[in-house]
């Protein structure tokens, strides 16, 4: 004798569809606070109208920085400027991990082959660890600064 297999009953698609529609309708309202905070976790807004910082797609930005926020070295923290000098000189670097390959796993920098980017620590005063600040250097003299451990980047450009 063959037994008939009973499958569990499925919920009506209407309920799931209504829930999805409500979520999609509310999505712009959920994203609005993140857009208005300037993109920083601390909620502080930053001005992009000064000559030292520019908005994405600035006419004077180099090709590798197109579409990114930019910052000039004089607007970086003093520790970041020191790290840039060490990178330009080839070291010596204070941390063992300085100069290691940066994987760009977050895909926030332009896509390149593995090994193209290297990371360097920007010391954080008062921190017992390496902290969250880094300079990422590309093989063609590109420099990117992150103050929040790869969450956001700014292209470091010369004035």
Element (H, E) at 82: helix 78-89
Residue 106 is a catalytic residue: no
Q: Which of 40, 85, 119, 142 is catalytic?
A: 119
* Nearest residue to 103 (alpha-carbon basis) of 134, 128, 124, 70: 134
Q: What residues act catalytically?
A: 119, 149
């Amino acid at each position: 004798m063959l037994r008939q297999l009973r499958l569990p009953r499925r919920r009506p698609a209407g309920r799931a569809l209504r829930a999805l529609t409500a979520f999609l309708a509310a999505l712009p309202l959920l994203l609005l606070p993140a857009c208005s905070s300037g993109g920083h976790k601390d909620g502080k807004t930053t001005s992009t109208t000064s000559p030292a910082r520019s908005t994405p797609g600035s006419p004077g930005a180099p090709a590798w920085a197109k579409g990114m926020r930019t910052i000039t070295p004089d607007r970086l923290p003093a520790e970041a400027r020191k790290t840039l000098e060490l990178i330009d000189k080839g070291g010596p670097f204070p941390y063992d991990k300085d100069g290691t390959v940066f994987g760009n796993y977050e895909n926030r920098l332009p896509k390149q082959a593995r090994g193209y980017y290297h990371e360097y620590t920007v010391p954080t005063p008062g921190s017992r660890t390496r902290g969250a600040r880094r300079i990422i250097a590309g093989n063609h003299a590109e420099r990117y600064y992150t103050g929040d451990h790869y969450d956001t980047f700014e292209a470091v450009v010369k004035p």
